A and B are shown apart, each in its own frame.
Chain A
């Protein structure tokens, strides 16, 4: 684990690319031990946060794709939800990227993260609200702020729809 995390600090971008693959494989193969060791998970998330904001676009793009795969590892879902602040901060910086692909992929990762939160919290996305509102209060995220505000608005809208469905459901039941 330590070797893996150290390998992302190298100046050679090709080695960093290789390290991303290794971290992803490690997460998939050792999901149960990682689940039982919160410290290991934090190390992995730290590594990913660093790679997601790498100064090399190839590394950044690869890290985004890899992070999407790791988000899909079922065993780690609950751990992602308990460390949302770190993840949202890293993804918010992706939304500020000058590269369009990185920005678009960052937005997609946000959607994917939302799905994981919904799955883990049984339909509730409120866990994401606090980290997003926290990111809005940071002065450096100027470009990302409109995206984040729109995301908050859409979440509220989804809730209204669910609410209306319940009202309509009760109406149909009684009449």
Chain B
């Protein structure tokens, strides 16, 4: 009985953590996704700035891999 209640408390804690993480991730996505869109001013600026272009490409890859990872785990944000 004690074991079950402990298990339930752990599960609840995990759910809360998951919700918090998804929430934080959604905030980050909302802020960062526009930066890697082709129409963004930063992308146009990157045409004459090679280090910026490379860092934007790295950011884009990170964003894509995170989204793919989350969807793969069955936790879609949309």
Total number of A residues with any Cβ neighbor in B under 8 Å? 29
Also in contact, A173 and B58, with CB within 8 A (given A155-B28, A166-B18): no
Contacting pair A152 B42 (CB below 8 A): no
CB distance from A125 to the nearest CB of B (A): 9
Complex Cα gap A170–B10 (Å): 9
Also in contact, A173 and B32, with CB within 8 A (given A159-B25, A163-B21): no
Chain A interface residues toward B at CB < 8 A: 124, 126, 129-130, 133, 136-137, 139, 142, 145-147, 149-150, 152-153, 155-157, 159-160, 162-164, 166-167, 169-170, 173
CB distance from A174 to the nearest CB of B (A): 8
Contacting pair A136 B21 (CB below 8 A): no
For chain B, residues 22 to 75, give those with C-beta under 8 angstroms from any C-beta of chain A.
24-25, 27-28, 31-32, 35, 41-42, 45, 49, 51-52, 54-56, 58-59, 62-63, 66, 69-70, 73
Also in contact, A133 and B31, with CB within 8 A (given A146-B51, A146-B54): yes
Q: Which 5 A-B pairs have the closest CB atoms?
A: A146-B51, A149-B55, A146-B55, A153-B59, A153-B62
Complex Cα gap A124–B56 (Å): 23
Contact of A156 among B7, B52, B56, B63 (CB under 8 A): B63
Contact of A150 among B10, B49, B55, B66 (CB under 8 A): B55
List of A residues within 8 angstroms of B51 by Cβ: 146
Contacting pair B66 A166 (CB below 8 A): no
Contacting pair B59 A145 (CB below 8 A): no
